[in-house]
Amino acid sequence: MKKLILIYNPVSGKAVFKNRLDEIIDKFQQRGCVIIPYRTTPENAGLADFIRQMNPDGLIAAGGDGTLHEVVNLVMKENLNLPVGIIGSGTSNDFATYLQLDTEDYFTRIANGETMDVDLGKVGEDYFINVASAGMATSIAHEVDTRLKNAIGKLAYYIHGISTIPQFKAMNLHVKTAEDEFDIKAYLFLVVNSKTVASFKGVANKAELNDGKLDMLVVKECNMHSLVKLTTDLMSGKEVADQENILYVQSDHFEISTDEEMDSDLDGELGPKLPLVLDVVRSAIKIYC
C-alpha cells in the first residue's frame, strides 16, 4: 500500500481545505493509498524529521504557491528525494493551474506513481518552482491584507494592483545572462519556469518545465496608456511576450541588479534583496502529474 504525507496549509485560500480532509483521504484510500496528514505551522520545525520517520512514497502539498514553494525547498535542502503532488487550495495556484491538476483523474495518476522531472530555479540557497520577480508590482502579494485575500481571493490582488498603477516608478535594471547583457529602465521583471504567473495564463509563451532554461520578462518603462493596455491583455489571457514594451529573454543563468534597494519575491514568498544570481537546476525534482 502506497504511503503519502499530505502537507496542508490550514489558512491557505479561504482556510477551507481542512473541511476537505475526509474527502481527500477517501479519494486516496479508494486507490489503495494511505494518507498521513501534516498540518503546517509558520516554522514547520521538525517536518523533515517527521517525513524521514514516516518513510513515505511521496508528498502532497495542499495549499497555494507559497506552500508548494516551502515543500519544494524542504525536499531539495533536506535531500529527501521524494516526488511531490499538488492540491491547489490557495488564493493563487499558478503551478497547479498550469499543469491542470485539478481533476479527479489526478488522484489516480498519483496512486499509479506517474511523475515528470521538473527544472527549478535557484537563488543563493533558495529554490523556486514557478517565478522569481522584483519591481513595483511584485510587492502586491505581501501588501494585500490576509483577511481581504481570504474573503475575495484573487480579486484582492487585482484591486490592489490596479490602485497602485499610478504610483509605478521605473528602476534602472542591469541584466546579464550567459549569452547577453542589457541595461533597461523597467517597472518590474519576472523570471519564470511555467507559462502561468499571477493567475495570468500564457505569460511566457516559450516556457517549458524541463527545457533547462528560465524565461525572463521585463516590463519596460512606458506611458500609462500602454501600461494599462498591457495589464488588460494579461488579464484577458493574451500573449504579451512579443509586445514592444516587453523584453523576453531565455537563459540558464541570470545576474540581475538595480541601483536601489529592492526585495525579490520567490513563488509569492519574500525573497532576498537584489542583486540576484539565478541558475537553473535541471530535472531537480519529480512532480506527480
Distance between CA 245 and CA 231 in Å, rounded? Answer: 11
Distance between CA 118 and CA 14 in Å, rounded? Answer: 29
Which listed residue (78, 221, 255, 269) is catalytic?
A: 269
Instruction: Assess whether 104 carries a catalytic annotation.
Output: no
Distance between CA 65 and CA 12 in Å, rounded? Answer: 9
Distance between CA 269 and CA 266 in Å, rounded? Answer: 5
Per-residue three-class SS string for 77-120: HCCCCCCEEEEECCCCCHHHHHHCCCCHHHHHHHHCCCEEEEEE
- 88 in Cβ contact with 102 (< 8 Å): yes
Catalytic residues: 269
